Chains A and B, each alone.
Chain A
Amino acid sequence: MKKIEKKEKDILVLAIESSCDETAASVVRNGREIMSNAISSQIAIHTKYGGVVPEIASRKHIENVNGVIEKALKDAKITLEDIDVIGVTYGPGLSGSLLVGVSEAKAIAFATGKPLVGVHHIEGHIMANFIEHPDLKPPFLSLVVSGGHTHLVKVVDYGKYEIIGKTRDDAAGEAFDKVARAIGLGYPGGPKIDKISKSGDAKAIEFPRAHVSGAPYDFSFSGLKSAVLNYINSAKMKEEEIVVADVAASFQKAVTDVLVDKAINACNEFGFKTLAIAGGVASNSGLKKAMRKACKSNNVEFVFPSPIYCTDNAAMIGVAAYHEYLNENFAGWNLNAVPALKLGER
């Protein structure tokens, strides 16, 4: 498969990511070394509206995209001429947001005559693990948990995936955001719940751990979210005091218990010796702590990216793009954004 010999010369990828509310660009050498990682976050703008507003996100991407790309090249101390391939996230994500990065990347590749590759956003998240773990190689199991995704994925080879489970309703990160809003912590919910949970009692309230019957690796978080909302409403009706830290800690424990449980079961059933978590929720300290402990007692190696590579970033897209490039999966000038792109599909 790998027709291009990577040993001959360094391959530099310029990667662009704009699938949600971060405009990001990065230069990656040989699929492992991050030469730059520029991110322009819109979080302050969307916080005002309690979540990401797609049209605002798209407008901000347009305003920021060139500046971010220029910063990535400058930080890497190279120019566009030095780049070998342009990589861009083309799905899944918000249609309007994706289109900015896709149109920009295509135009740069077209104008310079450089090859273009389209990258799956989730593949990028998984590949983020390669950045800081030079020895990590497929096969391994990956748990992808973010505001938009909750997937258990067999990473069979570079660019080859098999989804064994996913969420039936809310993504894990989505549940964090909704619960955070309900208990008055605001957006973004994940980091805020994580922080306040440290001072709360995770055993204070017994929230349900949902399991989907007949699908041992699928997730469901909407029931848990409803249980938290019911708890708050009934406490208010009874005029009982709500201890926000306890609610947060108990909720977080309920989420992480399910994530850890299913990931470890999958490792054991399919014989994986390595588990790599990925996505925004992968920087949750409660999840990492519980997962580390469970992996240790099950003799599974546990890897996770630094927080900067957990949130949406272009470095991870650059890593994935490098492997797409080696596999000669080049995109045409008709590459479009695919908001509901499935992992393993093109």
Chain B
Amino acid sequence: MRILALESSGLVASVAIIEDDNLLAEYSTNVEMKHSETLLPMLEEIVKVTKLDLNSIEAIALSNGPGSFTGLRIGSATAKGMGFALGKPIIPVPTLEGLVYNCYGGSGIMCPIMDARRSEVYTALYQFVIKKGTKKDICCKLRVLLEPQAIGIMDLIAEIDKLGKHVTFIGDGIPVYKDIIKEKLKSPASFAKANQNRQRAASIAVRGLELYHEGKYIDSDDEKPEYFRKTQPEREAEEKEKAENIEKK
């Protein structure tokens, strides 16, 4: 089964094609933010070298957020347009899960951190759990220890120390918060290296294929990014309403 994957949630632009357990092609760049100019030419390139017939793909896996609002929408609209034109479904893959799949099967706690600006990170805590069935069938499942959210780095550090286990950080939040983490975190920590520490479409494809088998795919009409944040005027309106309610009381 062939899956096409798109990743444009952050600075990285990445496209990949997998066929079951084989990565046929992956093209990633981490140089500039103009995904609108790079993503489709990159896709064209890997389609060309793999001689892929686009109609032969089963679904489009998409890194669906959180991340840069504009980046997410470029990926989303690209997936929607292709899904509509090819008549294929979209698998919305949580970006944080994609990052964790860069370090699939690793031990300890997995902590994706994406710079969310406003002194926050998009983050979650996961653990790969090995379930021993028969000897032939050992499966590795992702368990959520902290739900995906946008929080301050100090709050995240406190959550990790509550668990008190070895943690691996993955994501573009590392260069921003590495020093604070080293100084404040009591638990042992490691930081993912260059081959693992940024978004990769191959990981979106791998996680996407799993989600596809779980039936977690949607029609291209229904696809929209998970922003994790309301827009500013919506937030302001809510805060105003809250303040007014307090006053009334």
- Prevailing SS type, chain A contact patch: helix
Pairwise interchain contact A107-B231, C-beta atoms closer than 8 A: no
Decide yes or no whether A59 CB sits under 8 A from chain B.
yes
Cα of A340 to Cα of B94 in the assembled complex, Å = 34
> Contact check: which of B37, B40, B44, B224 meets A62 at CB < 8 Å?
B224
Pairwise interchain contact B37-A55, C-beta atoms closer than 8 A: no
> Contact check: which of A70, A95, A105, A334 meets B38 at CB < 8 Å?
A334
Pairwise interchain contact B69-A103, C-beta atoms closer than 8 A: no
Query: Given contacts A53-B233, A56-B231, A333-B44, is CB(A95)–CB(B70) below 8 Å?
Result: yes
Q: Which residues of B contact A53 (CB under 8 A)?
A: 231-233
Decide yes or no whether A99 CB sits under 8 A from chain B.
yes
In the A-B complex, the 10 residue pairs with the closest CB atoms: A107-B81, A103-B77, A111-B85, A333-B40, A104-B81, A55-B231, A334-B37, A104-B77, A66-B221, A108-B81
Query: Given contacts A56-B231, A99-B73, is CB(A110)–CB(B40) below 8 Å?
Result: yes
> Contact check: which of A65, A112, A334, A337 meets B40 at CB < 8 Å?
A334
Pairwise interchain contact A62-B73, C-beta atoms closer than 8 A: yes
Query: Given contacts A80-B85, A107-B82, A110-B82, is CB(A337)–CB(B36) below 8 Å?
Result: yes
Pairwise interchain contact A56-B77, C-beta atoms closer than 8 A: no
Decide yes or no whether A67 CB sits under 8 A from chain B.
yes
Cα of A95 to Cα of B69 in the assembled complex, Å = 12
B199-249: which have CB < 8 Å to A?
A: 220-221, 223-225, 227, 231-234, 237
Q: Which residues of A contact B220 (CB under 8 A)?
A: 66
Cα of A248 to Cα of B94 in the assembled complex, Å = 51
Decide yes or no whether A102 CB sits under 8 A from chain B.
yes
Cα of A101 to Cα of B73 in the assembled complex, Å = 10
In the complex, residue of chain A having the shortest beta-carbon distance to the beta carbon of B221: A66
Known: A63-B224, A107-B78, A107-B82. 20 other contacts (CB 8 A): A48-B237, A49-B237, A56-B233, A58-B70, A66-B80, A70-B84, A96-B69, A99-B36, A99-B74, A103-B74, A104-B80, A104-B81, A108-B82, A111-B54, A111-B85, A333-B40, A333-B43, A334-B36, A334-B37, A336-B34
Decide yes or no whether B41 CB sits under 8 A from chain A.
yes
Q: Which residues of B contact A110 (CB under 8 A)?
A: 40, 43-44, 81-82
A48-83: which have CB < 8 Å to B?
A: 48-49, 53, 55-56, 58-59, 62-63, 65-67, 69-70, 80
Binding site for A on B (CB under 8 A): 34, 36-38, 40-41, 43-44, 54, 69-70, 73-74, 76-82, 84-86, 220-221, 223-225, 227, 231-234, 237
Pairwise interchain contact A336-B77, C-beta atoms closer than 8 A: no
Minimum distance in angstroms from A171 CB to a CB of chain B: 22
Pairwise interchain contact A70-B81, C-beta atoms closer than 8 A: no
Pairwise interchain contact B73-A103, C-beta atoms closer than 8 A: yes
Greatest chain B CB density within 10 A among A53, A80, A102, A333 is at: A333
B-facing mask of A99-137, CB < 8 A → 1, else 0? 111111111101110000000000000000000000000
Minimum distance in angstroms from B224 CB to a CB of chain A: 5
Minimum distance in angstroms from B41 CB to a CB of chain A: 5
Minimum distance in angstroms from B210 CB to a CB of chain A: 24
> Contact check: which of A95, A104, A105, A336 meets B37 at CB < 8 Å?
A336
Minimum distance in angstroms from B143 CB to a CB of chain A: 31
Cα of A59 to Cα of B85 in the assembled complex, Å = 21
Minimum distance in angstroms from A128 CB to a CB of chain B: 25
Q: Which residues of B contact A333 (CB under 8 A)?
A: 40-41, 43-44
Query: Given contacts A53-B233, A102-B36, is CB(A66)–CB(B227) below 8 Å?
Result: no
Query: Given contacts A69-B84, A333-B44, is CB(A103)–CB(B232) below 8 Å?
Result: no
Greatest chain B CB density within 10 A among A48, A67, A111, A333 is at: A111
Q: Which residues of A contact B223 (CB under 8 A)?
A: 62
Cα of A95 to Cα of B68 in the assembled complex, Å = 14
